[in-house]
Homo-oligomer: A and B are copies of this chain.
Amino acid sequence: MTKLIGNAVVGQSGGPTAAINATLAGVIRGVKEDVANGAIKTLYGMRNGVQGLLEERLVDLSAFFDCEEKIDMLEHTPAAALGSCRKKLPKLGEDDAVFEKLLAIFKKYDIRYFFYIGGNDSMDTVAKLSAYTKDHDYEMRIMGVPKTIDNDLVVTDHTPGFGSAAKYIAVTMQEVIRDCAVYTIPAVTIVEIMGRDAGWLTAAAGIGRVAGGVAPDLIYLPERAFNKDEFFEDLRAKLAEKPNVVIAVSEGIRFADGTYVCEGFGVASVDAFGHKQLSGTGKALEYAVKNELGCKVRSIELNLPQRCAAHVASATDLAESVSVGRAAVKAAGEGVTREMMTIVRKSTSPYVFEVGHNDISVIANQVKHVPAEFINARGNNVTDECAAYLMPLIVGEAAPKYKNGIPQFLIIE
């Protein structure tokens, strides 16, 4: 294969994570260290993903090459330093104007390398751009670099960003469960965790079981239908054993008929302005348990901090996130295109991974669920096998540098 010489552009897309900037740092390192062997001239960053690219809002990232400290700070900075977008490209053939525009911009800036860091929707963008540029004979190396706290991409063992969110959840559970244990009066605490369709993050609440810590008494994932009667039965049994019961639930849990628990239990809420408001799943369950058992109940929605808590990022996750970014540059330089970088688990104990890549078309628009063997028979907890599988991903503490008591994060001006 002849060497393809040109410029590169990297973008971030979809929901931010604590590790997506580590992958950006990996791409920057890859270009800086010239792992593409002279093929890449200038590295641009697109502001707000393809949305900013369409507006030609580009930033020259070469400025980073001179400053190791800045790359290091970027690695530990949460959210998306280049900004993100939720733009979904149209189906090919339906409205090609946007693709024509993108192709014109690629030509204008001599962009031959396209690195897109994102989740499921972003891989859809990568797949469509791959197909379009191929159809139009524009030689280009297009690489998807995965990130999502949801861990719901197929083919890759897990996704960069997941480990740090999982660590936040597992660590927070250690603290919350202890906090809940200080009083002797019966109390139920419900922790709502992100994950609309896949229960990976909620499963991470159970890691303490095999890691020498504590874990929730009951864990409910969206992979299994939520049975109200069994739930109250199991909760009563736990309360008979101990006064403080802690429950972790995915925001996306549904009843057998497909209704979300937050709809089925909370739909009648009307706010002060007369609008119907859908409470969260945790809040809906809080009301339901209060109504059924009459005991003290509270709910905690982990909310944004679970995806941006860089101060308690997983060192394993950050290292992998950098690796996939760097490896994407190397692979593209070697001629790989229209693929997504993957993490290949070689061994769980000791934990060993390799970086690979796979055809994007078999990855985009699919959801990887928590497998059946990772959920117990009753559907109210994860198995030890699941916790043991997840544990290596949260190992190691990758703290940012602090000054005046707060972490120092990088802003790309």
Contacts and interface: CB of A to CB of B under 8 A. Distances in A.
Interface of A: 12, 16, 18, 48, 51, 77-80, 83-86, 167, 170-172, 174-176, 178-184, 189, 207-208, 210-213, 264-275, 277, 279, 284, 287-288, 290-291, 298, 300-305, 307-312, 314, 316, 391, 393-397, 399, 402-409
Closest 6 CB pairs of A and B: A394-B405, A211-B404, A79-B178, A179-B308, A84-B182, A175-B308
Contacts of A178: 16, 77-79, 308, 409
B284 A272 contact: yes
A272 B269 CA distance: 7
29 contacts: A16-B182, A78-B179, A79-B181, A79-B182, A83-B181, A83-B183, A84-B182, A84-B183, A175-B308, A178-B409, A179-B308, A207-B406, A210-B404, A212-B403, A212-B406, A212-B408, A213-B409, A265-B271, A266-B272, A268-B270, A268-B274, A269-B270, A269-B277, A270-B270, A272-B287, A275-B290, A277-B287, A298-B304, A300-B305
A40 to B, nearest CB: 25
Contacts of A272: 264-269, 284, 287-288
Contacts of A291: 271, 273, 275
A212 B77 CA distance: 15
Given A184-B48, A409-B178, A287 B275 contact: yes
A272 B259 CA distance: 14
Given A271-B268, A406-B208, A304 B176 contact: yes
Contact of A269 (B83, B180, B269, B409): B269
Contacts of A284: 271-272
A211 B265 contact: no
Contact of A406 (B78, B211, B393): B211
A174 B409 contact: yes
B399 A397 contact: yes
A49 to B, nearest CB: 10
B271 A287 contact: yes
A179 B307 contact: yes
B301 A174 contact: no
A405 B51 contact: no
| Most-contacted residue by chain B among A48, A170, A171, A265 (CB, 10 A) | A171
B304 A171 contact: no
B300 A287 contact: no
A200 B409 CA distance: 25
B175 A51 contact: no
B78 A407 contact: no
Nearest to A301: B301
B406 A174 contact: yes
A54 B160 CA distance: 53
Contacts of A182: 12, 16, 48, 79-80, 83-84
